[in-house]
Structure 1
């Protein structure tokens, strides 16, 4: 296991969309491992390292809220993007209100998580890449609140605040309890035709232990 890091992440709203809901978004009860990894990659990412989520601690009670969101009614075809990239001025992209629809969403409200993770060196490591080097850079960026782009909680409009955790955890609302969270998205296997991988986590005393498929853990 590589060097570890702990982040406190919080925000007013979050939406970690369930893939089985086809039209209107419905969030999972808690943050997914892939979303947690995305937050760490927003703070510090290099091809030479791979972030691995070890544990997620849920601090505040799980609360849902129903809101309305403006979304596009479809996706832009890849051929349209290619024509625009090649300089075709007659390409029509989504620019008018007729391409926007209003949909409902069941989102999480007032969330706070503690993310425990570590990173491992990848096959893209260079001669000057060491664990200590990347660990110190990641710590420095997290302490200063630096990020490549603003981390978000599932959807980009739900921005996340974060800070490095040096002391003990805050007490979870779910201390002395156990909750089956059902099947949840673990991550996307981009090396295998973007295959989605699911697992069934259990939250014990507010803590969710995350397996690592690439390390051989059993989901």
Structure 2
């Protein structure tokens, strides 16, 4: 494995608490699953797996209440399958007929420094050299290239990113220390048809959240 560090920032963020059924309420700090998604947006391959190890908070935790228009439904998979078979179909969603307003408690003016290990899965690409994937990620991250734009919890909250080569020379994290309660670690896709969330007890210590290993006893269903 090789460790990398990304700085992620944006005007708004929402790392939604799954226990909130209707309104969107964010965790205080970026979740490991959201951080993993940012690394994957720069480089995802079947032979690569990302493990988030630490999340540093670079700006004070600030909140904002917003009410947004959202579309209440998604396009039916049955309609998509029919359109693929017949070559035609109505796949549109009419916003005026399907609009709903939701209140949300979001984070604002956020910045994080995220550390993650790139694991090479040799069984998925036996002839490859792990250096190939490492260089691919480094090249993309330095040039600001990505497969899709990284985002901070919700796709409309785009994240600016920067590869950090020497974290020790960067600005210090905030000095806050407190218990954050149980936080979503990631989804368990052992059963792809019914992925299950797994949680850990998050602590922010001098602005940093240490993320336990997926297989450790600290991660629970």
Deviation at 1:172, TM superposition (A): 1.6
The within-5 A match list for 1:105-116 is: 105-116=104-115
CA RMSD of aligned residues (A): 1.7
How many residues align? The count is 215
2:201–2:218 contact (8 Å) kept in structure 1: no
Give CA-to-partner distance per residue, 1:8-54, whole Å, 9 cap, x none.
00000011111111111111111110000000000111110100001
* Residue matched to 2:133: 134
Gaps of 5+ in 1: none
* Residue matched to 1:76: 75
Gaps of 5+ in 2: none
2:169 aligned with 1:172, yes or no? no
* Residue matched to 1:16: 15
2:52 aligned with 1:53, yes or no? yes
2:183 aligned with 1:184, yes or no? yes
2:207 aligned with 1:206, yes or no? yes
2:218 aligned with 1:218, yes or no? yes
* Residue matched to 1:85: 84
* TM-score, structure 1 as length reference: 0.91
Greater alpha carbon shift after TM alignment, 97-106 vs 26-35: 97-106
2:82–2:89 contact (8 Å) kept in structure 1: no
Greater alpha carbon shift after TM alignment, 102-111 vs 83-92: 83-92
Looking at structure 1, the residues matched to 2 and 143 of structure 2 have their Cα atoms a distance apart, in angstroms, of 19
Deviation at 1:180, TM superposition (A): 0.7
Deviation at 1:78, TM superposition (A): 2.7
Give CA-to-partner distance per residue, 1:54-106, whole Å, 9 cap, x none.
10001101111011222112333332332233237454642241101121111
* Residue matched to 2:197: 196
* Residue matched to 1:4: 3
1:47–1:124 contact (8 Å) kept in structure 2: no
1:48–1:129 contact (8 Å) kept in structure 2: no
